[in-house]
Amino acid sequence: MPAVGHPPVLRHRRRDGRRHLARVGEPDFATPWRITEAGIYALEHGHTTYTSNAGLPRLRELICEDLATRYAARYDPGTECLITTGVSEGLDLVLRVLLNPGDEVIVPEPCYVAYEPCVAFAGGTPVRVPTRWEDGFAVDPDVVAAAITPRTKAILVGSPANPTGAVQPREALEGLVRLAEQHDLYLVSDEIYARLTYAGGHTCLGALPGARERTVLLGGFSKAHAMTGWRVGWVCAPAAVAELAVRVHQYTMLCAPHVSQLAAVEALSGPDDDVAAMVADYDRRRRVFVKGLRETGLDCPEPEGAFYAFPSIRSSGLDSETFAERLLHAEHVAVVPGSVFGPSGEGTCAAPTRPRCRCWRRRSCGSTGSWAPCARR
C-alpha cells in the first residue's frame, strides 16, 4: 500500500522548509465562526460523552432534510442514516459491509487515493476503468459494462471528484444506475464535494430513478463547511445496509465525536451565507488559477467542482513524475503527478486551485477576522 503523500514533495519539504502550493484536500478557510462557537458551547456544557451509535438524532434529521430539500433524495433519519468519523470512516464501513473476500469493485480512475486501498482492506479487488482527460473524465457506461464480471459487487464513484474536479454528467450516472440494475450491483457514491459545484447543480446519485435501493451515499462536513479536523461525515443507505454499517461502527468507532456532531448540527441549521461565500471564493479562484495555467501554456479544463485543477502537461514532453519533480526543484511549487491517481492520470498533474495564501487560523494569529492574508505565514 503506498504511503499517503508524494515522496519527492515530502523529502523536499523537509529539506527546504518552505511552504508549497499543494495542501492535500484541505480547505484554506477556517471553520465558520458560528460552527466553531457551537463546538465551544458544547464543550462548555459538558457534551463530552458518547452519543448513540448512529449519531445524534437531530443531526440525522437535518442531514436527511438537507438531502430531500436540495436533491429530492429521501432517506429515513431513524433507519437509513449514520453519522461517521468523516467520509473516510463511512467509506471503510460500507465497503466492509458490502464486500465478501474476492468481490470486485469497479473504480473509474483517476480517482481519490483512498478508494482502491479501502476496497482492498475490505477484502475486495478494485477493478480500474479508465476515463479520459479529453472527455472531462466522464465515466463511459460502456467501458464500465465491459469490466463487469460475475464477481462484481459494486461501482464506486466520486462526483465532484478529487483530483480532477470533474462533475459526472447526469447521463453517465443514469448509465451506471442502469448497469447496476441489470447486474444487481451496489453503487457507492462519494458526494463529499456536492456543495462545491460551479457550473449547474449537483446530481445526487441516490435521487436518480432506480438508484435508491442500491445506492450508498457518502457525505460530510470537511469540505463545504471547512471542518476537516472535526471529523464528521455521514452514510445514507437502504436500511439493511445502514443497519450493518452501524453494527461495524459500534464496535470499531462507537460514535463520531459528540462535540463535532453538535457543531455539525449548527452547520446545517444556521444561516448558509458562509458556505455560499466560500463557494463563491473557490469559484473565483478556480477561474484565476486556470487562466494562469493556460497562460503558462498548460491546457486545463475548468474544473466544474471541488477545488482542484488537473491540467495536461503533455506540452512539456515530460511524464507526470518528472514534471512534478522538476517543478518542485526549480520553482518550489508542489503538484501531485496525475499518475498517482491511476494510469489515466498520466500526462497530467493535480494542484489545488488556491493561488493565494489566506489565513486559516485567523483567531490565533490575531488578524481582524476579514479574510486578509496572514502576516505570520
Ligand X SMILES: Cc1ncc(COP(=O)(O)O)c(C=O)c1O
Interface ranges with ligand X (CB under 6 A): 25, 86-88, 112, 158, 162, 190, 192, 220, 222, 228, 233
Q: Report the nearest approach of ligand X to the CB of residue 110 (Å).
A: 11
- Closest-CA residue to 242 (of 35, 53, 6): 53
Tell me which residue of 289, 222, 230 sits closest to 27, measured CA to CA.
222
91, 122 Cβ separation under 8 angstroms = no
Residue 152 three-state SS: strand
* DSSP strands (E only) in 232-331: 233-236, 308-309
Taking CA atoms, 276 is separated from 201, 231, 353, in Å, by 14, 21, 17
> In terms of CB distance, is 235 or 290 closer to ligand X?
235
Cell triple for 338: 496525475
Q: Distance between CA 168 and CA 171 in Å, rounded?
A: 8
Please count the other Cβ atoms lying within 10 Å of the Cβ belonging to residue 117: 14
Rounded least distance, CB 117 to ligand X, Å: 12
State the nearest-atom distance from the C-beta of 44 to ligand X, in Å. Answer: 25
| CB of 169 vs ligand X, minimal distance in Å | 18
186 or 230: whose CB is closer to ligand X?
230
Shortest Å distance, C-beta 45 to ligand X: 26
For the record, the C-alpha cell of 86 comes out as 468523516
Distance CA 250, CA 231 (A): 16
Cβ closer to ligand X: 148 or 154? 154
Q: Taking the chain, what is the end-to-end CA distance rounded to the nearest angstrom?
A: 34
Helix (H) or strand (E) holding 186: strand 186-190
Residue 129 or residue 156: which is nearer to ligand X going by CB?
Answer: 156
Min dist CB 219 to ligand X, Å, is 8
Nearer to ligand X, 206 or 220 (CB): 220
Between residues 99 and 113, which has the closer beta carbon with respect to ligand X? 113
